[in-house]
Amino acid sequence: MTMPRRRAIPIPILLLAAFMAMVAAPGAQAGEDRRVVVELFTSQGCSSCPPADALLRELAERDDVVALALHVDYWDYIGWKDSFASPAFTARQKAYAYAHGKHMVYTPQMVIGGEHEVVGTKEMKIADLIATQRAQTPEVALAVTRHDGQLTISAQAPEPIKGKLLVQVVRYLPRETVEVRSGENAGRDLDYSNIVTDWRIAGEWDTAAPLAMEMPIEGSLPVVVLLQHAGHGPIAAVAELK
């Protein structure tokens, strides 16, 4: 995949001032202002997944959650090839398992904020983990805009963060229904939400200086920008353009 071309752009002074005020304020973005990334690893060939898919659909309606469905390909052999699956999403799930000291992957699995993994149907546990993430003060402030085919990403950290953050750009389909003709879900029409179609690393940021990045963006699909600690660590910030 060709990496997007990037060039430095100035950040408006007022935007930077707003960033710093937001991040520096006690409890900034905690509670009602903080958004939490929920990644669901799922498959059309998994009979245990539809309830988790339905739960993700509910989470996608919340203003405090960025819900993303990543379809894995390791169940394709049992009779139905997932039309949304990608080896890259399987690799992301395996990388999370390694980072969290696990030795196996499964579906349905949700990863909350890049930090916590849980069975994707455990509604109360998922709600608790989302609440825990929302209570945290963000490490950085992030702003994203899209105009005339260009995506502008700006970020600021009140203090340098140890290590690097990966700047990741995600595209997703808001909603699709799939008629499954074989496998464990044969004969079912399955509804899916926020189906990830593309996930790419746009760059790295060491947080020592403000981040300013511009890249081309095609089409009208929603865009999510994640700033995540390298090595599949915690997600420091997220912004979504629908």
What was the pLDDT predicted at 18? 54
Alpha-carbon Rg for the chain, nearest whole angstrom, is 18
Instruction: Please indicate, yes or no, if residue 65 is contained in any of the structural domains.
Output: yes
pLDDT one-digit tens code per residue, 93-143: 999 999 999 999 999 999 999 999 999 999 999 999 999 999 998 899 999
Rounded CA-CA distance 1/201 in Å is: 11
Instruction: Please indicate, yes or no, if residue 7 is contained in any of the structural domains.
Output: no
- List the domain range (segments joined by +) for residue 131: 13-22+34-241
pLDDT reading at 233 higher than 90: yes
What was the pLDDT predicted at 6? 43
Q: What is the CATH number of the domain that holds 101?
A: 3.40.30.10
Instruction: Please indicate, yes or no, if residue 5 is contained in any of the structural domains.
Output: no
The whole-number average pLDDT for the span 192-216 is 97
Could you tell me the pLDDT band of residue 3, with boundaries at 50, 70 and 90?
very low
Structural domains in the chain (count): 1
pLDDT averaged over every residue in the chain: 90
Instruction: Please indicate, yes or no, if residue 6 is contained in any of the structural domains.
Output: no
Instruction: Please indicate, yes or no, if residue 200 is contained in any of the structural domains.
Output: yes
Residues 6+ apart with CB under 8 A from 147: none
Instruction: Please indicate, yes or no, if residue 107 is contained in any of the structural domains.
Output: yes
pLDDT higher at 191 or 33: 191
Instruction: Please indicate, yes or no, if residue 3 is contained in any of the structural domains.
Output: no
pLDDT one-digit tens code per residue, 6-53: 444 444 445 545 555 555 544 344 445 789 999 999 999 999 999 999
What was the pLDDT predicted at 17? 53
Instruction: Please indicate, yes or no, if residue 4 is contained in any of the structural domains.
Output: no
What was the pLDDT predicted at 138? 87
